[in-house]
Amino acid sequence: MADFQLLQRLPEELLQDILERLSKHDLSLLNPASRWCYRVATPLIWREVQLVDCRTLHEDETDDHDDTPFLKKLLVLIRKPWIASCVQALEHRCHLPPPAIFHELPRTPLSGQTLSVDPRTTKLVQLAVQHMHKVHTLRIIFGHPNVNDALLRCFFDKDRKHTTPVRRLWLENCRFSAGCDPRIESHPLGLPLELDFAGLKSIRFRRMPIQTGHPLYRRWGGEFNHSRGSKKACSLQDGAGGSYTTLVDYMNPALDAAGIPQFSNDGTDEWDERGSIEHLLEPALRFDGLIFEHLGCSTELPPQLHDLQMKSRRELSRKAYRGPYLDPINLIDRGYGSAVEGIGWLNRERIPSSDVALTLLGHASDTLTSVCLDWILADPDRETSTPRAYIDWVEMFNSFFGLRFPHLKALQFRNAVVRETLQPSGLFLLDEAQIWCERGDGREPWRAPQLTCLKFMEAHSKLRCLAWPMDAFFSEKPLPADINSRVGAVIDNLGRTLEDLRVDTLYGAAGEPHSEDFGCQDPGARERRRRFISDFAAKMTKVESIKIEGGVPRDERREVIRALHACPLKKLVMIGVCSPLGNTWGAQGRDLGESFLEGESDYLEAEDKDAVYSFGSREPARPPPDFVFQPTYGWPAGPPMIHTIASLHADTITELKFCGYKGSPKLFSPTPITTPMLSALKYFHSLETLIMSMWLSTIFEEAPRDADIIKYWLDARSPQSMSLVRTVIDEEPEGWEKELRTKFAPDALAWQITSLVGPFLSEKAKARKGGVHVRASVCIGEWGGIFDIDLHIGKGSMNSDVCLSYKGPREELEPERRRTKLESRRWF
């Protein structure tokens, strides 16, 4: 108690500095120690709140989306307004992994119309938000649609007074059309009708459809939504190299197979029980009834909920139903126009999500400083959609670039993953748009406005961060004379202001070539990328961070680095399928001595070993003082990528990141060429962080053991697990258990990474306090899960390389890893 009394005497600023260094677990232990501890710890415990559901067994039935955990949190916030007033950041997400970007996200409209359907859940969200006056950050990541609506409409309620406005809004893998529609006539669950987004400073739309109302999902087939009580199970990726099984509602190419009512011919408000809404929602409403019954037994529920539970199942079903797709016009486009006119109340979305997004951005334009469209799915299916759909898609981008943001500092469009995320071909940031479309009705072809993007760039002269497709800065043709000076002025200004530059191209399935000098399938795209290097990158002088992602050939990556020779680069990121550093496996992977799956060794072009060994023993040559950049393409005998980077930027670089598993250094028994390829790392004396992909062989007794290894890693960090392999003793015979413990255990991996990477790092960098943070990313599992092993390599008492600390292996969704990644996002 004397220690607590001493703490109480500290100045408030020092006390806060001490307490903020404690983990949430430590604060939870401190909280009940005394009244004073409760008072000082509670605000920190509740400063960030997550609303997450769980999986529960109800009466021999499994509810994959039980809201009980976050309903209990909401009840605390309602009963104790002073705790609610401590909340500064709120996040809502589903406990299940979000849809995988390649194979799942393009197939789900994210409707989830059986999730969180009880109106009492919506009311609890509404009541809790009324007390959360200081929330400045709202994140919805794969949230339940009804909860999404309640959070968005309540936090941005036009009549919400005496509160801190939400400054940062992150929407990912979610449905937001109804939640952000700024003006509606009525809401079935009584949510606010008019919204105000003024005050927002940062918006991130990530991994979700933003559509003009035309179908996006027909190309894939097998569309689905996550469900409660469905009889249909689906195997989906778990984000850790494997899969999990959950219940889904499948949808046929036109309508939700279970949810769209079939109205009688006489037009009366009746429907066929074979596909009724009530039948679809009955399990979810039953589960919610059990949830609130259990809550009512353990605590007193707010009186505002009493009348809501008296509604009939039929009325509750009508209020809960959302419609199967993201935008109402989809049904019309699919030939169901007459049905939609008669059942308009069924679809809560009234305008397309593209219109909602643009309206939201327009309302917040006076205060926005950062706008990020990160892998949004907007591209209609060109093979089956109408000319109108294509024109509307292009107009969506034209409408965005018609907006003005007086304080904009960061603009990001990232598109490198799947075709649905691409921008319209012919839309150029610093050139005339070259987009036209036959109307199909005999009229003149429709043409897009030519200079919308350039006018936008001219109007935003304070940009410090820019992300844009590498092949969409310029067309392959010379700039027209009448805009040449205008483009030059924009580039000159960015040369003085731009600090963070990110470019990408669509990933290739097999990997990236050394060069596209020969055998190029799209010479126009190659010319556009190279124009970016010569006419844009070479004129930058302040860039501190560069990210190059997707299917960019290795020689063009190298030339981007050379073009930025005048910039004080601190952070360099290269991401691809093949290792950006070079191929350590040999031609077609023959030097690795591993067996590959079909296609796994494609694009593994041979390195010039004589050149790599020759340059590997030399110090990187610094450019002369009068160096003038001239691009050279191809991949002749020359220095490895690390040498080129070191020759220009070794003095300023603090972080290097090279992701791409094909050809990456092998963690155990690396091939001989690995040493000269990485040797120039020792010249990065300011290096603080090194992140790189590594190849981890999982073969034992001629069979892959990925699943066993992943399970061992997950068990090793779980305090509840009782299935760890037994301790290995010297007398124990060789076997798989010993292989796991001696080769794949976290401490064994940390030691191996230290032994492999440590000798390449700068002695000066390793001698700093804390050493060098090294993250090795390995890709294993049936679905290619990415696991990271984080460690710090420093110097020991005998001046040897030592591992100062380590964490992992951790997948992206591991709680601490996930939280760190969210919080470290720049420009949010």
Kindly tell me if the per-residue pLDDT of 388 is higher than 90: no
pLDDT mean over 463-488:
95
In this structure, are strands 410-414 and 370-374 parallel, antiparallel, or unpaired? parallel
Band the pLDDT of 287: cuts 50, 70, 90. very high
According to the model, what pLDDT value does residue 501 have?
Answer: 98
Q: Are 608 and 686 in contact (CB under 8 A)?
A: no
pLDDT of residue 266: 41
User: ∠ CA(138), CA(140), CA(144), 5° rounding?
Assistant: 135
Q: What is the pLDDT of residues 646-702, one digit of tens each?
A: 999 999 999 999 999 999 999 999 999 999 999 999 999 999 999 999 999 998 888
Angle between helices 387-401 and 452-459 (to 10 degrees): 20
For residue 434, is pLDDT > 50? Answer: yes
Which residues face 288 on adjacent strands?
A: none
The full set of domain ranges for the chain reads 1-45, 63-196+213-351, 696-828
Res 328 pLDDT > 60: no
The pLDDT of residue 53 is above 60? yes
- Flag the least confident range among 297-306, 330-339, 371-380: 330-339
Alpha-carbon distance of 23 to 5, in angstroms, equals 22
Better-scored residue on pLDDT, 317 or 747 = 747
- Label residue 730 by pLDDT band (50, 70, 90): low
Per-residue pLDDT for 390 more than 90?
no
- Which pLDDT score is estimated for 400? 96
Residue 444 confidence (pLDDT): 84
What radius of gyration do the chain's Cα atoms show? 28
pLDDT band at 409 (very low <50, low <70, confident <90, very high): very high
Q: How far apart are CA 828 and CA 824, in angstroms?
A: 9
Does residue 51 surpass a pLDDT of 90? yes
Most confident of 40-44, 344-348, 636-640: 636-640
Whether pLDDT at 346 is above 70: no
- Average the pLDDT over each of 23-32, 42-51, 63-72, 625-634 and give the range with the smallest value: 23-32
Please report the pLDDT score of residue 674 as a whole number.
96
Model confidence at 349: pLDDT above 80: no
Q: Find the mean pLDDT for residues 755-781.
A: 96
Confidence of residue 491 (pLDDT cuts 50, 70, 90): very high
pLDDT 10s digits, 56-72: 987 788 999 999 999 99
Residue 214 corresponds to which tokens in the numbers above?
A: 């035309």
Q: What is the pLDDT of residue 733?
A: 58
Mean pLDDT of 621-630: 91
Closest listed residue to residue 61, CA positions, set 290, 236, 312: 290
What percent of the chain has a predicted confidence (pLDDT) above 70?
89
Cα 649 from Cα 572, distance rounded (Å):
10
pTM exceeds 0.75, yes or no: yes
Quote the pLDDT of residue 342. Answer: 43
pLDDT above 90 (res 313): no
Q: Are 581 and 642 in contact (CB under 8 A)?
A: yes
Instruction: Read off the pLDDT of residues 276-286 as tens digits, 9 standing for 90 and up.
Output: 677 778 889 89
- The residue with greater pLDDT, 93 or 211, is 93
Give the count of beta carbons closer than 10 Å to the beta carbon of residue 743. Answer: 16
Q: Nearest-CA neighbor of 757 among 681, 657, 698?
A: 681
Mean pLDDT of 727-754: 83
Cα–Cα distance measured from residue 373 to residue 371, given in angstroms and rounded to the nearest whole number = 7
Helix, strand, coil share (%) of the chain residues, nearest 5? 35, 20, 45
| N- to C-terminal Cα separation, the chain | 42
Residue 107 has a pLDDT of 86
Q: For position 719, what pLDDT does the model report?
A: 65
More confident residue, 702 or 491: 491
| DSSP letter (8 states) at residue 519 | S
- Greatest Cα pair distance, the chain, in angstroms, is 90
Give yes or no for a cis peptide into 809 (omega within 30° of 0): yes
pLDDT in the model for residue 607? 94
d(CA 74, CA 67): 11
Averaged pLDDT, 774-796: 94
Task: Answer yes or no: is pLDDT of 254 > 50.
Answer: no
Cα dihedral sign, 352-353-358-363: positive
- Give the whole-angstrom CA distance, residue 195 versus residue 183: 7
What pLDDT, on the 0 to 100 scale, is given for residue 784? 86
pLDDT of residue 119 exceeding 50: yes
Per-residue model confidence (pLDDT) at position 195: 95
Q: At what angle do helices 523-535 and 554-563 cross, to 10 degrees?
A: 20
Q: For residue 488, what is the enclosing H or E element?
A: helix 481-497
pLDDT of res. 221: 55
Per-residue pLDDT, averaged over 405-423, amounts to 91
For residue 618, how many other CB atoms are within 10 A of its CB? 12
Average pLDDT (74-95) is: 96
Higher local confidence (pLDDT), 192 or 440: 192
CB 202 within 8 A of CB 168: yes
Q: Which of 462-466, 523-527, 602-606 has the least mean pLDDT?
A: 602-606
Percentage of the chain modeled with pLDDT above 90: 61
Cβ atoms of 450 and 432 within 8 Å: the answer is yes
